[in-house]
Structures are given as structure tokens and as C-alpha cells.
Chain A
Amino acid sequence: AQKITQTQPGMFVQEKEAVTLDCTYDTSDQSYGLFWYKQPSSGEMIFLIYQGSYDEQNATEGRYSLNFQKARKSANLVISASQLGDSAMYFCAMREGGSNYQLIWGAGTKLIIKP
């Protein structure tokens, strides 16, 4: 069955350090998409980055990059030069092909950036 696993319930990182948030997925589909969202304490879900299963290059968006390792079924989010404003919940999600674009969600990782 399709599944998203985020094994880190919480992380503390020193400001300006890079941080990697883990995400592994399970699917039998060849076509799928992987997403990362940020949810600050205000509650809004902010789209960060997307990786398609056929994309050969790792996706990057500013300080965010997605370390996509297809054989290992992992899609880790890397945040470079972390900032205090990066403190939030981070969710990994997956869309399978033909799923009416519904997302399967991980449990989330609470990231706290220390000054």
C-alpha cells in the first residue's frame, strides 16, 4: 500500500546550518510526484518543492533542494543556511498517477531553529 514515512518527529538545528529532513515512500506506480510543504504555527500550508518520478535532476527552489534517490525510494528535503523563520512543521506528500491528484501525507517533522 502507498505510504509516506517521516521518521523524525522533531529536530533542533543551529541557525545557519544546513538541515536534512527525511522522507521515504512506498508505491508500485511508475508515475508519481513528491512534494514538501511547510506549516508554520499560523497553520497555512506552504508549498516548497516538487519532484516528479521521471525527473532526472533533483529539484531545487532557492534554499530548498530535494535529494531524490529513486532506488531507495527516498525524497529528503535539504534546507541550506537555515534561518529562524524556517522553524515549522514540514510535511512530505506523494501523488500517485491516476489518483485524481490526491496526496498521501507523512506524519510531519517539527523543525526548530536555534539562534
Chain B
Amino acid sequence: GAVVSQHPSRVICKSGTSVKIECRSLDFQATTMFWYRQFPKQSLMLMATSNEGSKATYEQGVEKDKFLINHASLTLSTLTVTSAHPEDSSFYICSARIFDTQYFGPGTRLTVL
């Protein structure tokens, strides 16, 4: 099946630092990758849609300067949370699309102290 990896799985950082999360499709090329945020006991909230070689499309209310997305190749997208603050603490999960289906990475739990 389609496998997506995401690293790191867990990160704790101090307020004001930047954190980079990598999302890789391991056995397929993904034209489109998606970044989500999930709060406890809630559904997924789409943050941005990323197409290889072009700028990401951010959802309304998502700060593009805070959440930098780079989709440099067909198998790798990165999300950088810049100058992280405690309110950015959350579960971040990426997905990669092949045909109609999105396949998800295992997620990254970010804790900002």
C-alpha cells in the first residue's frame, strides 16, 4: 500500500524557536500533499494544500508566515512552524495524494513550552 512517513513523531521546543516537520511519500510520487492540524477530540482541520514546485495554498485563518510549507519534490513536503508559541502546540498530520485517495503520515505531536 501507499506509505507516508512523517518526522519527527514528537517534538518539544521552547517558545520562540522554529520547528521543521518532514512528510515523505515512500513508495509513490505525490503531486499534492496536505497539512492538517488536529485538536484533541476533534476532526482534522486543513491548513494548506501543497503542490510540487508551486506555492502552497493556505486555508483562511492560517498564517502563511508562521507555517511555512515547502514542497520541493514529488516525495517530500516540509512544514516549518516559525517562532513557535504555546498556542501552536498541537497534533500536525500530513497526507499525500495518489489518484483520489489521501494517505496519511503518522503525525507529529508538537509541544511548545
Residues of A within 8 A of B (CB): 33, 35, 37, 42-47, 50, 52, 91, 95, 100-103, 105-108
Check if B77 is an interface residue, CB within 8 A of chain A. Answer: no
B101 at interface (Cβ–Cβ under 8 A)? yes
Chain A proximity mask over B91-111: 1 for CB below 8 Å, otherwise 0:
101010100111111110100
A100 touches B32 (CB 8 A): yes
Contact of A43 among B49, B93, B102 (CB under 8 A): B93
**Contact B105 A44, beta carbon cutoff 8 Å:** yes
CA distance A68 to B34 in the complex (A): 27
Whole-angstrom CA separation of A8 from B106 in the bound complex:
25
Q: A35-B101, A44-B107 are in contact. List 12 more A-B contacts (CB 8 A).
A: A45-B107, A52-B100, A91-B44, A100-B32, A100-B57, A101-B102, A102-B46, A103-B46, A103-B102, A105-B43, A106-B43, A107-B43
- B8-37 Cβ-contact flags toward A at 8 Å (1 or 0): 000000000000000000000000101000
* Interface pairs A-B: 5 shortest CB-CB: A45-B104, A43-B107, A44-B106, A105-B43, A33-B100
Residue among A33, A42, A50, A102 making CB contact with B49, cutoff 8 Å: A102
Contact between A43 and B101 (Cβ–Cβ < 8 Å)? no
Bound CA span A106–B58, Å: 21
Is B106's CB under 8 angstroms from A47's CB?
A: no
Cα A102 to Cα B101 with chains together (Å): 10
Q: Which residues of B contact A35 (CB under 8 A)?
A: 101-102
Q: Which residue of A lies closest to B44 (CB)?
A: A105
Of B43, B46, B102, most buried by chain A (CB within 10 Å of CB) is: B43
Output the least CB separation between B107 and chain A (Å): 4
Question: Which of A45, A95, A108 sits near B100, CB closer than 8 Å?
Answer: A95
6 A-B contacts (beta carbon < 8 Å): A43-B109, A44-B93, A44-B105, A45-B95, A100-B57, A102-B34
Write the B70-99 contact mask toward A (1 if CB under 8 angstroms, else 0).
Answer: 000000000000000000000101010100
Q: Which B residues lie within 8 Å of A43 (CB)? A: 38, 91, 93, 106-107, 109
The docked-state distance in angstroms from the alpha carbon of A44 to that of B93 is: 8
Q: How close is B100's CB to chain A, nearest CB, in angstroms? A: 5
